[in-house]
Amino acid sequence: MLVIANMVSLVLLVRGVFVGSQLSPPDLLLAAAALWIVNVAVFALIYWKLDGGGPEARADGYRDYPDLVFPQQQRDQQGLAPSDPKPTFPNYLCVSLTSATAFSPTDAMPYSNRAKLGMGVESILSFVIVATLVAGAINIARG
């Protein structure tokens, strides 16, 4: 529901920038920045709840394969991280932030189709938000 609400908000934002809005241009830019931050937070929650069946399942050890694999979980990282690393919410927040900024995975690799789909949707939403921010900034600069 949060992703759908974010998508609807993005459509309204794009409409406001390109068609017109009751908001002033600086308020539209502020709305776009807030939408991007909410997008990062929503997808961090999704990754946290999705990976390996959720936080409870991860605390007991993965029942299935993980959806996201962090570098410290790989065997070649032994000695650089705890022997049994368990990702916490800040790890997923970092995944979401880097996916929204780089429009691609950076440190954690998506291994399941649902994780790949989530990262793809987040990247597309973030790209459109950033493009809208740039378009709004250009409109403000032109007067």
**For position 83, which CATH number holds?**
1.10.287
What is the model's pTM? Answer: 0.81
* Domain membership flag for residue 86: yes
pLDDT digits over 10-23, tens only?
A: 888 888 777 777 87
Strand partners, 68: 110
* Domain membership flag for residue 35: yes
Number of domains forming the structure of the chain: 1
Q: According to the model, what pLDDT value does residue 74 have?
A: 76
4 pLDDT above the threshold of 70: yes
**123, 54, 36, 47: which is closest to 92 by C-alpha?**
47
137 pLDDT above the threshold of 80: no
Distance CA 5, CA 82 (A): 38
* Domain membership flag for residue 79: yes
Q: How far is CA 143 from CA 20, 23, 24, 96, in A?
A: 14, 15, 12, 34
What is the residue range of 63's domain? 25-142
* Domain membership flag for residue 38: yes
* Domain membership flag for residue 33: yes
* Domain membership flag for residue 103: yes
pLDDT digits over 76-130, tens only?
A: 767 776 777 778 899 999 999 999 998 877 888 998 999 999 999 999 999 988 8
